[in-house]
Chain A
């Protein structure tokens, strides 16, 4: 965080935060590298971008508002099924399907946000977990609508802009998910560097004090939670559209837990944490499971423990700590 000696007004601080750091530009340029360096890994890159977007949405509530959720896949899954069903029953145009997925996830998020905003700590985690598990069970029960455990059948997505067909190599899929991720990132970056974002951080730092200084805590949390649900819905919708399939796994506890692990691995509350975490986790998983399809869990476990032992607060947390120490010398 900013540690300048002059008095910093909130406005000035926010403006400082809004400025683009050269490293950020390097980061975003490097996301184009897969097109040139790893053209055979584009479908993996696309799924990483989708997961990164999902992690980003969790970061907004977890990293900034302190709302730890173990049921975030509910919105991812609603978006995934929403986009899939839209393509079956309405039409296969991707952008409208994407908006539809985000919209219904947002509605579900808004409704549940009234419950979520009232609680914190373990209670909050367990309530989100309960909501997530119930959503999973509903998707399984609604067999005629969702296809149950066999997955949704008949998803057909038209080419982007009517021109770019989702190809075998994943060029279009990666371009689409990367563009969506970038736009989502810009939106979240703007949100967290606004007075509203500051209020969220205030809530994270001191839950009881914020209402005391006049902030409408439940309303802030509800707003953030709904936005996060919309983003998660977008991510789910893109997964459905780029893979032309949707299944119970997209709404499962496993997915909620995985994204939480990725975000914490990268470093929560740092915007890039989810992106880095998702990339490292998924690349590691892909590589380890290529080597040892049965035992890759072991190496992922080792990775998590090593990070936790040597880099508290995630990879980005650890790096910034090292950087800060290096600056002080």
Chain B
């Protein structure tokens, strides 16, 4: 199935320009990388039984040793991102575990959410990311106000978005938005990052 999965940015990435200078705002498409979500009564307990640590409160994220990011979006809602540079597929394992365990009924364990298909996933990297984001997002994303481990569920350029400052990933932000709005988001980010000499990194150049 993975062979035919397509990022909504795929067509654009094929024609993407190479950012002019390294160190500027670079946008990486991680949409093809695994992610999942769980929500509903029992989710926290169930997920805690599967991973080493969970964020202690909503709008916080933790990074596991293999690079997996677990974001807590609500009391009983989580977003899980496979490590960007990791071969492990915790999301796939979690989905499979949930499917097999839920078949047996019994304890409440929340419900899976199709995050790999509902949301595109970008990682925006560079020293001036927060400056660039200030053009399209009303949340103060500077280090002082939005330190590593913080999550903002907000609006970016008029569409709903989840922003995550990954612990250990300095100068970068995860941006997850509506899968169907990818083309619009491309235009927005390409425009916003141009001022900082950046843009989308062509596929395969992560």
Query: Is the A/B pair a real complex?
Result: no
Binding site for B on A (CB under 8 A): none
